[in-house]
Amino acid sequence: MRNAGDIFKLLLNIARENEHIRAVLLNGSRADTTIQQDRFSDYDIVYIVKELSSFTGNHNWIDVFGERIILQMPDQMLIPSVRDKTEKYSFGYLMLFKDGVRIDLTLFPADKVKDHFDPGSLTVVLLDKDNQFSSLPAASNNDFIVKKPSLNEFTDCCNEFWWVSTYIAKGLWRNEITYAKYMMETPVRNMFMQMLEWHAGVRTGFSVFFGKHGKYLEKYLEPGLWKQVLKTYPDAETENIWNALLLMTDIFSQLALLVANHSAFEYNTVEAMEVKKYLLAIKEQQ
């Protein structure tokens, strides 16, 4: 496997030798000095380029990065969950190579930088031929540190959690397991994780970064709570899904009360209790 020095040398040499590449930026986890790197740490790279079409007109130019296992070009895909349908000027290559290295390369047109490019706080300038990024501040993860919830964010999170939990009960009663699992692991799980992050934020003074999908949460939760959270991931057995759902509701309510008290919010305990009674009634009817 090529090491980091090899990859950065390759990325920079390609850019230095190509007049159309005007700057090289590093973002993502490798730009964060607080995160320990490992063999799966991606290289999230932005090439600021002139004449984007000179790169995207023939994709064979990316062969210079190495022999690939697989390539994805999200901007050419029709799958809604993959392709960003919002207006954008960039083009991305997601590349996994046979030596295990992964490079996520984004091309962004130089003439759109001033009005349309947001580097974010976690960006390191590796090369800047035109001094476009001379005023960029030092990289930090400030954009990703969990923020204190507003009252509306808090109440919306609680309402969404309890509302969609009734869909899980409906799916289980109908024996629609895939439907129930989707509702549990997408909308309900998202709200559950949000409350966990706010709780961890309270414990840490809202000063830490929990990673994508809360992958660093374990470090900031009480050990007993973390073990309980892991028990909320069931298999496809109906009884196990019910038990995990009810455990989620207990944990969610406990944490919502703590976050509400810290933020001087009011948690709608009546709504929570009424939905919990409804869930238990549906479970008893199965």
Question: In 18-144, which residue ranges form alpha helices assigned H by DSSP?
Answer: 53-56, 113-116
Q: Which amino acid is at 265?
A: F
What confidence category does residue 1 fall into, taking pLDDT thresholds of 50, 70 and 90? confident
Asked if 187 and 97 sit in the same domain, the reply is no
- Alpha carbon 154 to its chain centroid, in Å, reads 20
What confidence category does residue 213 fall into, taking pLDDT thresholds of 50, 70 and 90? confident
**Burial of residue 43, with CB atoms counted within 10 A of its CB: 0-12 exposed, 13-18 middle, 19 or more buried:** buried
Asked if 150 and 197 sit in the same domain, the reply is yes
Using an 8 Å Cβ cutoff, are 225 and 243 in contact? no
Query: Could you tell me which residues come within 8 angstroms of residue 10 by beta carbon, excluding any fewer than 6 positions away?
Result: 2, 64, 65
pLDDT of residue 84: 61
- In DSSP terms, 92 is beta-bridged to 106
Q: Which amino acid is at 142?
A: N
What confidence category does residue 121 fall into, taking pLDDT thresholds of 50, 70 and 90? confident
pTM equals 0.86
What confidence category does residue 81 fall into, taking pLDDT thresholds of 50, 70 and 90? low
Domain end position, chosen among 143, 177, 201: 143
Instruction: Using alpha carbons, list the distances in angstroms from residue 249 to 138, 279, 284.
Output: 41, 10, 17
Tokens of 61: 């130019």
Asked if 136 and 157 sit in the same domain, the reply is no
pLDDT of residue 139: 79
What is the Cα–Cα distance from 189 to 178, expressed in whole angstroms? 15
Asked if 156 and 279 sit in the same domain, the reply is yes
Closest CA to 168 of 282, 49, 284, 261: 282
What is the average per-residue pLDDT within 227-233? Answer: 97
With residues binned 3-state (H G I as helix, E B as strand, rest as coil), the percentages for the chain, rounded to 5, are 50, 15, 35
Give the SS3 label for residue 207. coil
What confidence category does residue 142 fall into, taking pLDDT thresholds of 50, 70 and 90? confident
What confidence category does residue 174 fall into, taking pLDDT thresholds of 50, 70 and 90? very high
Beta strand 102-109 with 68-72: parallel, antiparallel or unpaired? unpaired
Asked if 34 and 69 sit in the same domain, the reply is yes
Asked if 158 and 266 sit in the same domain, the reply is yes
What is the Cα–Cα distance from 113 to 90, expressed in whole angstroms? 10
The single residue listed with the structure tokens 């290289």 is 43
Instruction: Provide the residue count of the chain.
Output: 286
Asked if 35 and 117 sit in the same domain, the reply is yes
Strand order in the sheet with 43-49: 68-72, 91-97, 102-109, 43-49, 21-27, 123-128
Instruction: Using alpha carbons, list the distances in angstroms from residue 42 to 28, 39, 103, 224.
Output: 8, 8, 6, 32
Domain end position, chosen among 143, 175, 196: 143
- The total number of structural domains in the chain stands at 2
Asked if 107 and 160 sit in the same domain, the reply is no
Between residues 128 and 29, the one the model is more confident about: 128
Domain end position, chosen among 108, 143, 178: 143
pLDDT digits (tens, 9 = 90+) for 14-54: 999 999 999 999 998 898 887 888 899 999 999 999 999 99
DSSP 150: P
The backbone region for 205, taken as left when phi is positive above 0, alpha when psi lies in -120 to 50, beta otherwise, is left
Residue 21 dihedral angles phi and psi, to the nearest 5°? -95, 115
Beta strand 91-97 with 21-27: parallel, antiparallel or unpaired? unpaired
What is the Cα–Cα distance from 260 to 162, expressed in whole angstroms? 16
- Domain of residue 257 covers 146-285
Using an 8 Å Cβ cutoff, are 209 and 144 in contact? yes
pLDDT of 166 above 60: yes
